[in-house]
Amino acid sequence: MLDFLKKPSFLFGAKGSKLQEIKQKQRQIQYDIIDRSPLLIQPVEREGTELVLPQQIGPFKLIDTGTVVFDEPGFHTRNFIFPVGYTVQTLYPSAINPKTYTLMTARIIHGGSRPHFLVQAADQPRHPVTRPTAIGAWAPFIKNACFIRRGYTPDCLPYKEGLRLYGFENDTIKSALQDLPNVSRLDRYVRKKTQLMNSKQTSDALE
């Protein structure tokens, strides 16, 4: 039923050098340091110049790229754009059944002066979570999925997971978002250069 998605190897926790790497990335996000390396993007299906949606991009099914909010500074940073209506789906370990994965839907809704992040699990459709941060919306699912499999430990909830699970660290999705109308009107966002993946890189990205 969900053969359009492949099982992702998402991290439940980390130790040692991996934990240090996560902490370093946390600091990078905290201070909004610009990553000037080009975005490595996979070939995507288009009709003319328009991106065909929905479309599978890595472990994410991009449902909607959303609408850029340019008159409220809370909807972007130097590295990220948070369009209202942006929606992705991905598989993630179930938070209520330790033997299965479930389809997760993550979207951005308008929260006034800043975005709100809504995450919903297919096996808990009546219990969506809405928070003012990506990690806040994902946190109950990450923690519970971790707990029912190996017990909760402090490293179950890396700060950066929220942005990654929303697809915001996927270069192809980043590229699609920075091509949206009105991105040029965003005061702080720094546009990234892009580089097309070769065939092997594309194959690896889809695994």
| Predicted pLDDT of residue 104 | 98
44, burial (CB in 10 Å: exposed 0-12, middle 13-18, buried 19+): middle
What pairs with residue 130 in β-bridges? 118
| Predicted pLDDT of residue 157 | 64
37, burial (CB in 10 Å: exposed 0-12, middle 13-18, buried 19+): exposed
pLDDT at 40 over 80: yes
For residues 131 and 134, give the distance between their C-alpha atoms in angstroms, rounded to a whole number.
Answer: 7
**How many domains does one find in the chain?**
1
Domain that residue 77 falls in? 47-198
Q: Flag whether 32 is in a domain.
A: no
pTM score of the predicted model: 0.80
Number of CB atoms found within 10 A of residue 193's CB: 9
pLDDT at 160 over 90: no
| Predicted pLDDT of residue 172 | 96
77-116 pLDDT per residue, tens:
999 999 999 999 999 999 999 999 999 999 999 999 999 9
Nearest to 105 by CA among 161, 147, 77, 64: 64
Q: Write down the mean pLDDT value for the chain.
A: 84
With residues binned 3-state (H G I as helix, E B as strand, rest as coil), the percentages for the chain, rounded to 5, are 30, 25, 45
| Predicted pLDDT of residue 13 | 46
Q: Flag whether 176 is in a domain.
A: yes
CATH at residue 121: 3.30.160.360
For residues 161 and 138, give the distance between their C-alpha atoms in angstroms, rounded to a whole number.
Answer: 8
Q: Flag whether 91 is in a domain.
A: yes
Q: Flag whether 17 is in a domain.
A: no
Q: Flag whether 38 is in a domain.
A: no
109-147 pLDDT per residue, tens:
999 999 999 999 999 999 999 999 999 999 999 989 988
Q: Flag whether 52 is in a domain.
A: yes
